[in-house]
Structure 1
Amino acid sequence: MTAAPLDRNRASLLHKVRYALRNPGKVAPYLRRSARDLGLRLRHRDHVSYYRAVMADDAARDPKAAVGSRNEERWLELGRMQFDYLVGHGLRPEHRLLEIGCGNLRAGWRFIDHLDAGGYYGIDISPDILIAAKETLSERRLQAKLPHLTLVRDLTFDFLPEGRFDVVHAHSVFSHSPIEVIDECLAHVGRVLAPGGFFDFTFDRTEGAEHHVLREDFYYRTETLVALAEKHGLSARFMADWEELPHGQSKIRVTVPERR
């Protein structure tokens, strides 16, 4: 997989023209996405409602594609990659894990299988993708693990107990989120982290101007997200070892500093 230049601005007209000339077969799908984007923006003013409608449309066609996997093989590969990484970083069966944007359990079914019964808690803004998650749970015969799957409308975690989770995980969530949604998450995630716990999130990284494409794909500078975490009293560090894997996104780990 060849990495794109990190200073590329995908929202610029010049980039769009060049991309269209190199990839003429993708012009029609992009125009369809643009038309959908315009229609959904007119009907849904806040981002959560807007993206919930995007997910409903995508999931109706293919739940695996809705979570960013072009086929079954890639769906399994990306789920395995997330799972192996967290296990390699100390995720144990007795831990409790909160997965933000659990989708159709691309990685979640592996976490559920690995963790003790009741140790997995998945949340998502899309009821359609949670229905697909329940189907995955059934297909994998993991009902006895009693995972929690919950629909949410924000990332305040106000219904969850304090200090509950050893690991909080969000893969390809902030890559679809405006900065105010990320800020909301970082303002509240520290409350639900157990002592010594950590929050890993991926994001689409740029070293140029921060931008978005159709309010679906957002590109941030590392220092912006690190500073945002620090504003809320959290420590954040860039996870360089994640860059070695073939996934296309970057990762930051957030922890709550010990009180002295």
Structure 2
Amino acid sequence: MPNRASPAYQARYALRHPGRIGNHLRRWARDAQLRLAHRGHVAYYRAVMRADAARGAEAAVGSKTHESWLRLGQLQFDYLLDHGLKPADRVLDIGCGNLRAGWRFIEYLDTGNYYGIDISPEILLAAQETLTDRSLQAKLPHLTLVSDLTFAFLPDEHFTVVHAHSVFSHSPLEVIDECLMHVGRILAPDGFFDFTFDRTEEVEHQVLREDFYYRTDTLVSLAARRGLSATFMDDWEALPHGQSKIRVTRRGGRSA
């Protein structure tokens, strides 16, 4: 992945895609405004989600069409199903959004076994609408607004599957580290934590405060410092999605 933040890359991109210059300038202006209003990353990105959700919940979670929203949710669900997901699993969905994949987990899991958390009130209201549209109220999912990734309100060793899709791609390293510092406490001894990220094997960089690109070794090493084992998931790379995936387990726990 090239350094998308470099002026040379942006100049080449503008020459190839002149029709997208206006959109990029609008994002730049919004970023400058939100940086002044919100110093912390969670507050900043909550404001980003508020603005994006005003255009539509599916667009806010990165799906340009309803068909792509359905397709990517199915992809996430099928992947975990192929990796042994069972109805009895207790799933924590970090950054659950408007339940793009979550509604499939809720439908499949035993009643009460789905926990979705997000930093955006607007997107959680949209998640409630998805539940209603899919008639999944009786499955009693848990949907909770959070302001950090310490999981302080959740019990020890409870979750057999923790899932974060397209969360760390929008997170600075300190937010990822906070998550890895605490996720081991809530993971069941044989549980695993899957997360996607935007991968580069060149210079790590960010575009505005919205998109972050990391080397695999950086995240694997970060997990190790928090006493966790991390495995790059090669089989995910073969699937039609632009991000990469790492699986984290407690040392001595379930392997990939």
Structure 2 counterpart of 1:218, from 212, 215, 233: 212
Q: What is the distance in 2 between the residues matched to 1:179 and 1:87?
A: 29
Counterpart in 1 of 2:203?
A: 209
Report deviation, 1:117: 0.4
Counterpart in 1 of 2:58?
A: 64
Structure 2 counterpart of 1:103, from 97, 100, 115: 97
Corresponding position: 1:9 with 2:3: yes
Count residues with an aligned counterpart.
253
Counterpart in 2 of 1:3?
A: none
Report deviation, 1:21: 0.6
Q: What is the distance in 2 between the residues matched to 1:63 and 1:26?
A: 22
Matches within 5 A, 1:126-141: 126-141=120-135
One-letter identity of the residue aligned with 2:222: L
Q: What is the distance in 1 between the residues matched to 2:189 and 2:180?
A: 16
The alignment-based identity, stated in percent, is: 71
Structure 1 counterpart of 2:165, from 161, 168, 171: 171
Counterpart in 1 of 2:49?
A: 55
Report deviation, 1:257: 1.1
Q: What is the distance in 1 between the residues matched to 2:30 and 2:95?
A: 22
Matches within 5 A, 1:136-215: 136-215=130-209
One-letter identity of the residue aligned with 1:14: A
Q: What is the distance in 1 between the residues matched to 2:189 and 2:62?
A: 33
Q: What is the distance in 2 between the residues matched to 1:146 and 1:98?
A: 14
Q: What is the distance in 2 between the residues matched to 1:25 and 1:141?
A: 41
Structure 2 counterpart of 1:19, from 4, 10, 13: 13
Q: What is the distance in 2 between the residues matched to 1:91 and 1:189?
A: 19
Measured against aligned partners, the alpha-carbon deviations of 1:28-83 in whole angstroms (never above 9, x if no partner) come to 00000000000000000000000000000000111101001000000000000000
Corresponding position: 1:251 with 2:245: yes
Measured against aligned partners, the alpha-carbon deviations of 1:191-229 in whole angstroms (never above 9, x if no partner) come to 000110000000000011000001100000000000000
Q: What is the distance in 2 between the residues matched to 1:199 and 1:237?
A: 10
Q: What is the distance in 2 between the residues matched to 1:118 and 1:238?
A: 30
List, as ranges, runs of 4+ consecutive aligned residues in structure 1 with deviation greater than 4 Å.
Answer: none
Counterpart in 2 of 1:78?
A: 72
Q: What is the distance in 1 between the residues matched to 2:6 and 2:232?
A: 27
Q: What is the distance in 2 between the residues matched to 1:170 and 1:258?
A: 22
Counterpart in 1 of 2:113?
A: 119
Structure 1 stretches lacking a partner, 5+ long: 1-5
Report deviation, 1:258: 2.7
Counterpart in 2 of 1:89?
A: 83
One-letter identity of the residue aligned with 2:69: W
TM-score (normalised: structure 1):
0.97
Structure 2 stretches lacking a partner, 5+ long: none
